[in-house]
Chain A
Amino acid sequence: MRMRRTNKLLIEPPASATGDIAFNLIVFFLVCASVQPDAGRKQTIPSSETVQDQKQEETNVEVLLTRDTVALDGDFVAMGQFLPRLQAKLAGKTSPDDRVVVFKEKPDTPYSRYINVMRLIDEAGGVIVFQIEEEREVMIP
């Protein structure tokens, strides 16, 4: 006698649930796709202080960034030459105090340019210190 093999553990879901399952799957993948981990560059900004003495700045490398140009210790350099020139200036300096790069920029400098130069200073091993000009209103009697 031939026995018919049946598997009672395998139950087909009702066809009416197909729409629900598809909807849930769509929502699940939408949520997964919208949660993307952010990636970026860390930056440590030293606490601000008002510097009266200009002597310290003279010994450090100074970078001035504008919308179109970048200057290293007052000399304008091409973007392609910035990294080797900075590396040459920092060569032989081992302590973080000696590797300080005083960074100044013009108010119209775009952020994309700032990020690019920051990366190059990081790559050269410079320790970035911002120099921001403070504005004060003075009442003239």
Chain B
Amino acid sequence: MAMGDIAFNLLIFFVILARSQDDSHLQWQPATSVELESAGHSKASVLVDNDGKTYLNGQPTSIGQLESLIDGILGDAPYGDRTVLLKIHADTVAQQYEAIFEAVSKAGGELVHVVDEEKP
């Protein structure tokens, strides 16, 4: 019985470890919209938090480095497998998010804006 528990806990441990590059610990307020679709599998996620800081896959980065970093992550992945999630705080200004769009676009990423479903 204890063997099963140990195996299960190890499994949980490695699942959490694999998610260490996740950005779920960062604080941001998503914009809202309607008719959303599933973002599906993504290789990269760019997040702008409440303080206006930019993160790539949970790691702090600068917008200047974004294009090369995303290019490295996406590699030679075919179209349809180059999704980059954009998790941008609702109050972020165009000056910042336009530069992010441009970097993702130049790296050949397919943009998906992660937003919340608008409640009626």
Contact = CB atoms under 8 A, between A and B. Distances in A.
Interface in B8-56: 8-9, 12, 15-16, 24, 31-39, 42
A41 B105 contact: no
Given A114-B97, A132-B102, A43 B113 contact: yes
B96 to A, nearest CB: 9
Nearest to A67: B93
Contacts of B31: 111-112, 115-116
Interface string A26-40: 011001001001111
Contact of B95 (A41, A108, A115): A108
A111 B97 contact: yes
Given A48-B102, A119-B34, A31 B16 contact: yes
A40 B12 contact: no
12 contacts: A34-B24, A37-B39, A39-B114, A40-B86, A42-B111, A110-B91, A111-B31, A112-B91, A115-B33, A115-B115, A119-B34, A132-B102
A40 B85 contact: yes
Contacts of B112: 38, 40-43
Nearest to A133: B98
Nearest to A35: B19
B5 interface: yes
A28 B5 CA distance: 12
Nearest to B114: A40
Contacts of A41: 33, 35-37, 112-113, 115
Contacts of A59: none
* Number of chain A interface residues as a range: 20 to 34
Nearest to A65: B94
Interface of B: 1, 5, 8-9, 12, 15-16, 24, 31-39, 42, 85-95, 97-98, 101-102, 104-106, 110-115, 117
Contacts, number: 109
Secondary structure type dominating chain A contacts: mixed
A116 B15 CA distance: 36
A40 B37 contact: yes
Interface string A3-22: 00000000001000100100
A32 to B, nearest CB: 10
Given A24-B5, A43-B113, A48-B106, A37 B38 contact: yes
A44 B104 CA distance: 11
Contacts of B110: 42, 44
